[in-house]
Amino acid sequence: MIDQAQLDRLCINTIRTLSIDAIQKAHSGHPGTPMGAAPTVYCLWQRFLRYDPEDVNWANRDRFVLSNGHASAMLYSLLYLSGVKAMNPTYEQVGRPAVTLDDLKNFRQAGSRCPGHPEYGWTSGVEATTGPLGQGVAMSVGMAIAERWLAATYNRPGYDLFNYNVYALCGDGCMMEGISSEAASLAGHLKLSNLCWIYDDNHVTIEGPTSITFTEDVAARFLGYGWKVTHVSDANDLDMLVRAYETFLNTHDCPTLIIVESHIGYGAPHKQDTSTAHGEPLGPEEVRLAKEFYSWDPDTQFYVPDGVQAHFEEQLGRRGASLHSAWDDLFAAYRKQYPDLADQIDHMQRRDLPEGWDSALPTFPADAKGMASRESSGKVLNAVAEKVPWLLGGAADLSPSTKTHLGFKFAGEFQAPGQDGEYRGRNFHFGVREHAMCAIVNGLGLSKLRPYGSSFFIFTDYCRGALRLSALMELPVVYIWSHDSISMGEDGPTHQPIEQLASFRAMPGMIVLRPADANEVVEAWRVIMRVKDRPVSLVLTRQALATLDRMKYASACHVSRGAYVLADALDGRPDVLLLATGSEVSLCVRAYEQLKSEGIKARVISMPSWELFESQSQEYRDSVIPPKIAARVAVEEASTFGWERYAGLQGTVLGLNTFGLSAPMKVVAQHFGFEPEHVVAAAEEQIARHALKKRARRTNSEGSGRRRRVRV
């Protein structure tokens, strides 16, 4: 009869060899970390993880994030051996395995549930899309924050609904990336004792040994962050791993870092180039040597010995099913005693909005002075957040400027108890950590909260990696960016965004909203709150914008369609189209009125969201931007890149192809030509140019017709 130690080794080596075979068959991938870290993850999953393979969406499950996503073959092997069941995109149980043996055999191939790096929403059991190093550990901080907030908000005496832990496996690359430092610093400040990072310290990156670039004392660094640090000197020593995980579970005042010493490519002692073991398949000969080292039949591929899957079911599966069943009973009793709170949890888990969420939305009267869209957004945000208890967030040290602080009485500040706040607070302070902020917001979104993060628009360059993952994971997180253009003035070119709008519009899955006045801001928030499967970037002004008279101009309700006719010729047959977003819409309205006084028929089109506009029917798009009207002027205080889509190749785009200028706002506008007179001149030139072309075409057509008649 096989003893426990032998069974452990058999399971660990099954994880290793499945990973090796998947990578070798694909001729692509990273076998080193799965070989070295297999005991680390096996011990965690089998001995400690509170996780039900039958329901990967159980709200109180422990989270495991593979931050070093290049080790994905190891995670897929775990999901397969653990019998994790798949769920469909609406999180309904479907019952088939999340990962089959055939999926492993088709690792990194089209259609397989085992892509090159873990993808949230594609492979059930993957808690977050990882691959860009450092992102996973930063998102795990958001997940740990979510647990603390959920527990503080919804737990009641005798009802510990939320008490899960968050584990993240990371490597040397994650430790080098700056985002991990940002996230670890904040996690230490917040005393997130439910967070455990497991650092697979294998001393190798793609270019070679870490000694060529990375010689810092990681333990000392994390002690400085306020973390508990414990060491495991041999990844193959399960007893040491058990003690390390128990140390984490017994630590209640700070996060824990477990440093696990491993050897990359462990089991392939003949391979001299360990960096190749990290970044490429082993090759047939090294595969045989590794399997022989594990006492494995070198002639087998994708072999799962009898008893291995049963052992996972006996430990992980049985423990998870029991804990989940007990939680379901607890929640049923909780629902009877606290029906309103239970209803909130249900809505949150389904990403649904509570009834009456928009009942307090303000309306703004016409006002020539108006207000900055960051100001009106702050008012709308507070009105919505009072009605949606799980809408929460903050800024990267800029909430007074971005107007994202929740000011109603019960909002509170999210801090560790004793730090002028509590874990149930809804105002987050991310510090000057834009990149970590966006990744943490992703972690909150993965936990089904409705989070927002905020900064100046220019600083999105610091957090692009996390923003891209928001879109890739289809998370309905909200980004609020203020100081949106050169009109912020004196701070100058370093703070004036130019190319950012174009780059965000180029990002698949990201909705960009740049509203023109306070009432467009209201409608933008209506759009935002109804989105369930995409991130939204709300781009706002520092300077005041006139609140347009909606009795005179079209209603702002059309924001939901991305673009609409704001002002038109009386007969609906304009000679020229004026297209703009944000603050430049009012500029076009002023130009429209001047053209109108000159007897020139113009149409003003407000285009707050290209993405929403492109999702409309062709009929609607043509009704807003008639293809037959070639005279067009597009106006935006940003890069001109992309506007030819709407202005046409012969249209005029008043934008920027240089960086900005440090000067008062009016001086900047004059310098770059963002004035009504300039728009009027461009419109008149467009009309004249296309009228001349039209006459030329008519003349050519008549001449051609006469010649044809002569020939006949």
331 alpha carbon, distance to own chain's centre: 30
CA 267 to chain centre: 37
535 near 469, Cβ under 8 Å?
A: no
CA distance 227 to 250: 13
- Residue 430: which residues within 8 A CB-CB, separation 6 or more? 186, 394, 395, 396, 397, 436, 437, 440, 453
Neighbours of 18 (CB within 10 A): 28
**557 has which bridge partners?**
none
CA dist 517 and 540 (Å) reads: 10
Burial of 702 (0-12, 13-18, 19+ CB in 10 A): exposed
Catalytic residue among 434, 520, 611, 637: 434
For 616-649, letters b (16+ CB in 10 Å) and e give: beeeebeebbeeebbbbbbbbbbbbbbbeebbbe
Q: Would you give the end-to-end CA distance of the chain in angstroms?
A: 103
- Dihedral (Cα; 498, 500, 506, 508), 10-degree rounding: -170
Contact assessment for residue 531 and residue 470, using Cβ atoms and an 8 Å cutoff: no
Give dist(CA 332, CA 339) in Å, integer: 10
Q: Nearest 5°: CA angle at 487, between 483 and 490?
A: 90
Would you list the DSSP string of 59-74?
TTPPEEEESSGGGHHH
Radius of gyration of the chain from its Cα atoms, rounded to whole angstroms: 29
Partners of 453 in beta bridges: 394, 479
| Rounded Cα gap, residues 525 and 371, in angstroms | 17
- Pull the structure tokens for residue 559: 């924001």
| Other C-beta atoms lying within 10 Å of the C-beta of residue 3 | 8
Residue 209: Cβ within 10 Å count: 15
| Under 8 Å between Cβ of 69 and 103 | no
What does DSSP assign to residue 657? S
Q: How far apart are CA 524 and CA 561, in angstroms?
A: 10
Residue with tokens 């002027």: 633
Instruction: Let me know if 119 is a catalytic residue.
Output: no
Please, what's the b/e burial string for 588-603 (b: 16 or more CB within 10 A of its CB; e: otherwise)? bbbbbebbeeeebbbb
Identify the CA nearest to 267 among candidates 287, 253, 285, 283.
287
Residue type (1 letter), 479: Y
Q: How large is the angle between the packed helices 584-597 and 676-711, nearest 10 degrees?
A: 60
Read off the tokens for 393: 């967030």
Q: What is the dihedral of CA 276, 277, 278, 279, to 10 degrees?
A: 50
Whether the Cβ atoms of residue 85 and residue 129 lie closer than 8 Å to each other = no
Helix (H) or strand (E) holding 544: strand 544-547
Contact assessment for residue 143 and residue 447, using Cβ atoms and an 8 Å cutoff: yes
Q: Catalytic amino acids?
A: 434
